[in-house]
A and B are shown apart, each in its own frame.
Chain A
């Protein structure tokens, strides 16, 4: 096999686009607004990718993802305003806080049968949103928290939309690499077996309850990171950004992109953030069009744009360092 085929072409192309083409083009336009949209897309790529682990790979319907995103955002923002601890503290703390909360939530609920688990995540999402909205003493309630300090990396202020974009892009890219490895590994295969038939996985020595708790917690960690990025890029967090409709939006990204496929989750996020922006000329009609796109994609592409099954060949060829090749097909992680 030639060395050329071993080159990770798709990841390489993504790096060129995210760190080269996009910032270059945006700088040409020179508008802060475009950078904000680009940051937003990256943040939702991370949210969608993290939910993809739980819902697409492990097959758990999770209806409260935005709440963990919110925890990350509030923890990062409040650490900045109340404790004067900056980005490098607030970002990981936001991720960890979301993960700890997810762990506490997952311990009692993970034994529930799937549909009841989905209802539990819905309830937890609503509870967290309600707390953010009403615990005025800490969260400032509906007014939200203003975070003026901006991103500083070791006392060096990150100034201007381009620099901020690069910080967001680095955090998201590293997270995506981690999520990709979690999904495309034997660990990921064990997660997939939960989705396919968890009783059967149990009989093969897979500790299904533990694995579900783990993946739920890991996913919340990445959602928390996304929250920290949101707090620092917008400088303002308020409860409405983390309500049920945001959970559904993230879920829609995963489903439209294709359940079980990380590229699908990324494409889904880009599409569902970009589409409303592109359609701004249509006024309020744009939301209807976005709805129609979602509806149509589920109707005509039940496996999403790049569902697990059709994505298999693509994932194999481009996303996996092959461990062996059999009859022209590469196998192993």
Chain B
């Protein structure tokens, strides 16, 4: 099975700091991969490299067989890679529906001329896709409300719905459980696993080790920009190098 996304020797330097240092890994279709590591390990930088927000110093990223490491974020997104951000980033002065519709417009597209003169197939497709994504996260009944009025927990789902409206092949989630309490985190974990069972490949950065270990099929561990482990959760949990990176104990 060829990989959905293949990261080879990816390196990013910021001045003297090597934020991501020769990382290679891959995600196969349908996989749910966790990405963990201590603060400053380079997890978010790796996500930014994959999604085009940061250019790699060297190395390549191939998505569905094609190199994407020189593409702009919107071009990568259009190829079927959706991401969320570490700190919730919704469009506060737009309705819940309109927030999610941006994901669908980004994927399907609507030109200015279509907006002025357009009759409809595209518009109906965007509407349908937006409703489908809202349904999936259970926000349909709040579609007309201003996004800023949603609770913190609901906004997390709004952000995911926006990504789902893009109908991505790979969804990368940057700390989705940050700021959620235990029961909310458990609910979110169930939801992420459900999405994955429906066939969506997911990459997940998370601090909550229990969450990562309980739902992922494979865990990649970064420390100081380098990959120190890449294996099944149970194996990684027992890996001395991982324990040392996290706890600072000599193994």
* A201 with B95: CB separation less than 8 A: no
Distance in Å: Cβ of A126 to nearest Cβ of chain B: 28
Residues of chain A with a CB closer than 8 A to B131's CB:
324
* B72 with A205: CB separation less than 8 A: no
What 7 A-B pairs are tightest by C-beta distance, nearest first? A329-B144, A205-B106, A187-B115, A196-B91, A205-B77, A185-B115, A204-B106
Within 8 A of B (CB), among A214-265: 214, 218, 260
Please name 8 further chain A to chain B contacts, defined as beta carbons within 8 Å, in addition to the given A186-B110, A207-B72, A326-B143, sorted by A numbering: A186-B126, A189-B94, A204-B74, A204-B102, A205-B166, A308-B93, A324-B127, A326-B141
Distance in Å: Cβ of A42 to nearest Cβ of chain B: 20
* A333 with B78: CB separation less than 8 A: no
Residues of chain A with a CB closer than 8 A to B214's CB:
none
B interface residues, tally (CB under 8 Å)? 50
Kindly state the separation between the CA atoms of A181 and B78 in the bound complex, as whole angstroms: 25
Distance in Å: Cβ of A144 to nearest Cβ of chain B: 34
Within 8 A of A (CB), among B24-57: 51, 53
- Tell yes or no: B193 within 8 A of A by CB: no
The chain B residue with its CB closest to the CB of A185 is B115
A208-B130 contact, Cβ under 8 Å, with A312-B146, A332-B97? no
Kindly state the separation between the CA atoms of A81 and B92 in the bound complex, as whole angstroms: 51
Contact of B85 among A192, A200, A312, A329 (CB under 8 A): A200
- Tell yes or no: A206 within 8 A of B by CB: yes
Interfacial residues, chain B to chain A (CB-CB below 8 A): 51, 53, 72-75, 77-78, 82-83, 85, 89-95, 97-98, 101-107, 110-112, 114-116, 118, 123-124, 126-127, 130-131, 140-146, 162-163, 166
- Tell yes or no: A199 within 8 A of B by CB: yes
Interface pairs (28), CB distance under 8 Å: A182-B112, A186-B101, A187-B105, A187-B115, A189-B102, A193-B102, A196-B94, A197-B89, A197-B90, A200-B85, A202-B72, A204-B82, A204-B102, A204-B162, A205-B74, A205-B107, A206-B102, A207-B72, A207-B75, A309-B93, A326-B140, A326-B144, A329-B144, A331-B97, A331-B143, A332-B97, A332-B127, A332-B130
* B105 with A189: CB separation less than 8 A: yes
A204-B91 contact, Cβ under 8 Å, with A190-B110, A324-B131? no
A200-B130 contact, Cβ under 8 Å, with A181-B116, A186-B105, A187-B115? no
Distance in Å: Cβ of B165 to nearest Cβ of chain A: 8
Kindly state the separation between the CA atoms of A185 and B73 in the bound complex, as whole angstroms: 23
- Tell yes or no: A188 within 8 A of B by CB: yes
Q: How large is the interface on A (under 10, 10 to 19, 20 to 34, 35 or more residues)?
A: 35 or more
A331-B106 contact, Cβ under 8 Å, with A178-B116, A193-B91, A218-B112? no
* B74 with A199: CB separation less than 8 A: no
* A202 with B145: CB separation less than 8 A: no
Interfacial residues, chain A to chain B (CB-CB below 8 A): 178, 181-182, 185-190, 192-193, 195-197, 199-208, 214, 218, 260, 308-309, 312, 316, 323-324, 326-327, 329-333
The chain B residue with its CB closest to the CB of A190 is B105
Residues of chain A with a CB closer than 8 A to B115's CB:
181-182, 185-188
Which of B101, B124, B142 counts the most chain A CB atoms within 10 A? B101
A196-B143 contact, Cβ under 8 Å, with A187-B114, A190-B106? no
* A190 with B102: CB separation less than 8 A: yes
A196-B92 contact, Cβ under 8 Å, with A186-B126, A316-B144, A331-B97? yes
Distance in Å: Cβ of A225 to nearest Cβ of chain B: 14
A187-B83 contact, Cβ under 8 Å, with A182-B116, A192-B94, A206-B102? no
* B106 with A201: CB separation less than 8 A: yes
* B102 with A202: CB separation less than 8 A: no
Residues of chain B with a CB closer than 8 A to A178's CB:
116
* B77 with A204: CB separation less than 8 A: yes
Kindly state the separation between the CA atoms of A186 and B89 in the bound complex, as whole angstroms: 19
The chain A residue with its CB closest to the CB of B172 is A203
Contact of B74 among A188, A196, A202, A330 (CB under 8 A): A202
Distance in Å: Cβ of B224 to nearest Cβ of chain A: 27
The chain B residue with its CB closest to the CB of A323 is B127
Residues of chain B with a CB closer than 8 A to A208's CB:
74
Residues of chain B with a CB closer than 8 A to A204's CB:
74, 77, 82, 102-103, 106-107, 162-163, 166
A333-B123 contact, Cβ under 8 Å, with A192-B94, A197-B89? yes
